[in-house]
């Protein structure tokens, strides 16, 4: 049985989100706002179909995909760069590779105990965020 990410998750901690945003080229003013946010994620998972909605008081972002199927991602409201993205299982983790202008871009989600983890990668920067069930 693969991991079940379904549910609503609230951010409780964040490490090096600043470094990740700098690597993505997010401007200073936007970074100052973004690092104060406590986003909420709603995961809907049905077999290999996922939607991940990330909402905050400032901006929100929705991504929908099927495991193993490449899709065009527009990152609208984030860095607005387009990339070709694909998400695969790695054991109980879901690993997204975002191919585009930025090297080594992607993310990984996994569940550890009662917590949802998100590792965000861009170039040489890694940010780790932890979420708890709402």
Eight-class DSSP state of 30: H
Q: Which of 16, 18, 48, 61 is in the footprint of ligand VLP by CB under 6 A?
A: 61
Q: Among 87, 108, 118, 131, which residue sits at the site for ligand VLP (rule: CB under 6 A)?
A: 118
DSSP 124: T
Does residue 39 bind ligand VLP (CB under 6 A)? yes
**Is residue 110 close enough to count as binding ligand VLP by CB under 6 A?**
no
Residue 23 as a binder of ligand VLP (CB under 6 A): the answer is no
Query: Among 4-12, 22-30, 87-95, which window interacts with ligand VLP (CB under 6 A)?
Result: 22-30
- From the CB of 59, what's the least distance to ligand VLP, in Å? 4
Q: Which of 128, 20, 13 has its CA nearest to residue 79?
A: 20
The neighbour count for residue 99, using CB atoms within 10 Å, is: 14
Rounded Cα distance between 83 and 96, Å, is 11
Query: 43-78 burial, b if ≥16 CB within 10 A, otherwise e?
Result: bebeeeebebbbeeeeeebebebeeeeeeebebeeb
- Identity of the residue, 56 or 99, whose beta carbon is nearer to ligand VLP in the bound complex: 56
Residues in contact with ligand VLP by the rule CB under 6 A: 21, 24, 26, 30, 34, 37, 39, 41, 52, 54, 56, 58-61, 63, 78-79, 107, 118
């Amino acid at each position: 049985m693969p991991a079940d990410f379904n549910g609503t998750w609230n951010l409780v901690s964040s490490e090096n989100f600043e470094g990740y945003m700098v690597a993505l080229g997010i401007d200073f003013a936007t970074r100052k706002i973004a690092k104060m946010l406590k986003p909420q994620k709603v995961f809907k998972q049905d077999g290999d179909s996922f939607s991940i909605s990330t909402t905050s008081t400032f901006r929100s972002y929705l991504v929908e995909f099927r495991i193993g199927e490449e899709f065009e991602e527009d990152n609208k409201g984030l860095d607005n760069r387009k990339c070709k993205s694909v998400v695969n299982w790695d054991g109980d983790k879901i690993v997204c590779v975002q191919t585009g202008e930025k090297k080594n871009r992607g993310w990984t989600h996994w569940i550890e105990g009662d917590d949802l983890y998100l590792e965000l990668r861009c170039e040489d920067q890694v940010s780790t965020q932890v979420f708890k069930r709402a």
